Structure 1
Amino acid sequence: LKPTSGVSALTVALSALAGLGETAFNLAERDGGHGSTRFIGTRLGLAMHDLPVDPATCTPDLNALQSLLATGPRPALVYLDSFMCLFPVDLAGLREVVGPDAVIHYDASHTLGLIAGGAWQNPLAEGADSLGGSTHKTYPGPHKGLLATNDAAGLAVRLDEHASHFVSHHHPADVVALAVAAAEMDARGPAYAHATVANARRLGAALAGRGFTVCGEKAGFTDCHQLWIDIAPLMDAEEASRRLFEAGIVVNAIPLPHITAPAGLRLGVQELTWAGLRADGIDELAEIFTAVLRDGRDPATVAPRTRALAEELAPEDGPGEQVLRVALAAAGIGGAA
């Protein structure tokens, strides 16, 4: 728990899991890879190469990788750094292609909460050697980072050694906040994670049905929290983002893998789901998108609908509601729940 952020965890992992001059593969930015991986890996002296990607799923193309490795250097490290993701990686197949000696590290910054809730692949059970990432995206925790592995005698020691040099102070107060988030996830994680995926798929279908170009449609739009919209047929992505913001909705205008426009819209439904948004709210959200982006309505006239939708949200009732009080009471702080 020493890393202070996702990029902090990324730096430690690149340093610990491959040596100076060794070959490491990661996803190119055009394929959804994180913009810092190549820069940091190169500065650490690694020979960085692009993982070939299947454009239909934006996951590694294992046949192309096998052909590449037949004539090129074998990797010491495969760093799966997808911060643009829709579908899981075939980790067992990747292991078969790269062999037993390569370290496979899975950056779970965006999907950690879905992993914890059992709604996304479990990398450490499917072939990855280690896992890392941030704790404030689908995992509803503080701004922190973590690293994990099942290899207690080998990789864990290396990761801890390198973390102790790259992180001088690991922010213990944030570790406490992460412990509270972990307790909340024990109580609410499975229901939240599966509801997040269901909401993302429903929103994808609702937007596609209203004429939006939603990526991944042939594969069901998404298997996680993210949705990508190629908004270019209607307007520039920055303009779309501005109009939505004025209507009370925040989205990313960002380059999307394998679309021709300079940028599209990236959506994430995890925070709305955690707050309690259900199917009818997803449908209303799609109607708001349609009014602002397709039908040309003035965002100011639509904003009250967004506010009304937000005001209806409330945390789910259940054991998660009293987690903080219980945690504080167990630590001898504050009153009983």
Structure 2
Amino acid sequence: MNPMTKQVEVHDPGILQWAREIIEQCPSPRLMQQEVINAVNRNALWRGEECLNLLAPEAPTSPTVRRLLSAEVGIRAAEGNIGPEQRWFAGTRYIDEIEALCVELLKKVFRTNYADHRLVASMIGNMTVYAAMTEPGDNIMSLTQPFGGHSSNRMDGPAGIRGLKIWDVPMDLVELEVDLEAFSEIARKVQPKLVTLGASMTLFPFPLKEMAQVVAEWGGKIVFDGAHQLGLIGGGQFQDPLGEGAVVMIGSAGKTFSGPQSGIIVWNDPALTKPITDTIFPALAATHQVNRVAALAAAAAEFLAFGKEYMAQIVANAQALGKALHDRGIPVLGAHKGFTRTHQVILDVKAFGGGYQVATRLAKANIITNKNLIPGDRPEDWDHPSGLRMGTTEVTRLGMKEAEMEVIADLIARVLANKEQPEVLKPRVMELRSSFRKVHYCFDE
């Protein structure tokens, strides 16, 4: 690099400097590799064994899914659609079997006619929809971030990259639901080609049928971005988007579905099959990690066996956690509506220093949460929002139930309301976590 050129980094310079110093101190590349392994092991011990992980996007995979993620097939290339004549490479006989099993299992889980397994990240599903179903300059509508909207459907994500004009889906500040009257007025004025319903802060169902009826007046379509709710939908614990008027559903294979980190896309209309699959391949996915596909198929089989019970307990735990925190004087969004219909619990922690400060304090007690924008925040409050987001997926899969939600709420309240030092509570957190080591709702159990 030219010494006169100023280095521009988006990452934390202090952490990058730490890494450079570690690497420079290592006398051999083998020891450099060992430093990577050491960091992985430190995370496995702390986050994997000593913390209460309440991050809504996280879920532990089963031992079988983890083994498949390191399977031999992961070094094999499988470019193209399923079938020997459609592959670029020979030698894909068993890969075709793996991928066909995955597709058919996903269709069975979500009760759909079509599914694709090749999205190596869930946001690629958003890009697929916008590339296949819109043209640059088209109007779409999506949720704003203070109401749970995600960048994947906004100007700084795939929708913006596609060159779409983005209008806000109006939300009710108190009910945390779509304001149908305002939506109907705006939608009829701008006539969006697509309305994408997706929220990273998601507590209650959407009025999908009513919204679909409005946009059908000009041929508009509803797309459901179920990144967070996908498992709940498959397990019958949330609304059925495709049955209520959405034409495509995309989402994360991780999160509530509890499979490998990647994406899922499903639909019923045969007219959408070619535009969607032609966009996925060859435009957005070529070699698509067949080990991940095998792991996804295994997770889908687990879901068929255990998903209904698993998802029901996730929601029951979230509702119990919300109530327990509310009873201890912590403001919880949606309290007047039963707190949540999903895996998420959202707190208003302005009075305790805001989302960033609270998440940092709780992490010192080994309770992992995340800061979150909530209604009333501005987009520019992103770094220091008023809210805190929690999810019950991981603790549920480890076997915790409503009684443990009371214990967790008590620990959180002691840090926030009682202002106890988080380090003092860490041993109690570790003790609780040590009692729940087994992954449930899977065949390995």
TM-score normalized by the length of structure 1: 0.90
Q: Give runs of aligned pairs for residues 63-102 of structure 1, distance below 5 A.
A: 63-70=181-188, 72-99=189-216, 101-102=219-220
Which SS does the other structure have where 2:315 is aligned? helix
Instruction: Report the RMSD for the aligned CA atoms in angstroms.
Output: 1.7
Q: Is 1:10 aligned to 2:126, yes or no?
A: yes
Q: Is 1:321 aligned to 2:443, yes or no?
A: yes
Match for 1:188: what amino acid? F
The correspondence for 1:32, drawn from 120, 143, 148, is: 148
Radius of gyration: which is bigger?
2
- Once the two structures are superposed, residues 38-59 of structure 1 have per-residue CA deviations (whole angstroms, 9 ceiling, x without a partner) of 2322321222211111223333
Shift of 1:295: 0.9
**Quick one: distance in 2 between partners of 1:173 and 1:8?**
18
Task: Sort the Cα spacing of 1:33 and 1:142 in 2 relative to 1 into closer, same or farther, 3 A.
Answer: same
**Quick one: distance in 1 between partners of 2:154 and 2:354?**
29
**Quick one: distance in 1 between partners of 2:175 and 2:203?**
7
- Once the two structures are superposed, residues 275-309 of structure 1 have per-residue CA deviations (whole angstroms, 9 ceiling, x without a partner) of 11112111110111111111121212211111111
The correspondence for 2:355, drawn from 217, 226, 237, is: 237
Shift of 1:170: 1.7
Which SS does the other structure have where 2:368 is aligned? coil
Corresponding residue number in structure 1 for 2:112:
none
Q: Give runs of aligned pairs for residues 106-185 of structure 1, distance below 5 A.
A: 106-151=224-269, 153-164=270-281, 165-185=283-303
Q: Do the aligned partners of 1:5 and 1:133 also contact (CA within 8 Å) in 2?
A: no
**Quick one: distance in 2 between partners of 1:3 and 1:59?**
29
Match for 2:127: what amino acid? T
Shift of 1:168: 2.3
Which SS does the other structure have where 1:286 is aligned? helix
Corresponding residue number in structure 2 for 1:287:
410
- Once the two structures are superposed, residues 220-278 of structure 1 have per-residue CA deviations (whole angstroms, 9 ceiling, x without a partner) of 11100111111111223222111211111100012123358833110001111111111
How many corresponding residue pairs?
Answer: 320
TM-score normalized by the length of structure 2: 0.69
Corresponding residue number in structure 2 for 1:310:
433
Q: Which moved more, 1:84-93 or 1:48-57?
A: 48-57
Q: Which runs of 5+ in 2 are unaligned?
A: 1-116
**Quick one: distance in 2 between partners of 1:233 and 1:178?**
42
Q: Which runs of 5+ in 1 are unaligned?
A: 324-337
Shift of 1:314: 4.3
Shift of 1:2: 1.6
Give the number of the structure with larger relative contact order, counting CA–CA contacts within 8 Å between residues 6 or more apart. 2
Q: Do the aligned partners of 2:212 and 2:221 also contact (CA within 8 Å) in 1?
A: no
Corresponding residue number in structure 2 for 1:301:
424
Q: Is 1:196 aligned to 2:318, yes or no?
A: no
Q: Do the aligned partners of 1:17 and 1:103 also contact (CA within 8 Å) in 2?
A: no
Q: Give runs of aligned pairs for residues 204-243 of structure 1, distance below 5 A.
A: 204-243=322-361
Corresponding residue number in structure 1 for 2:174:
56
Q: Do the aligned partners of 2:345 and 2:390 also contact (CA within 8 Å) in 1?
A: yes
Match for 2:425: what amino acid? V
More helix by share: 2
Q: Percent identity?
A: 32
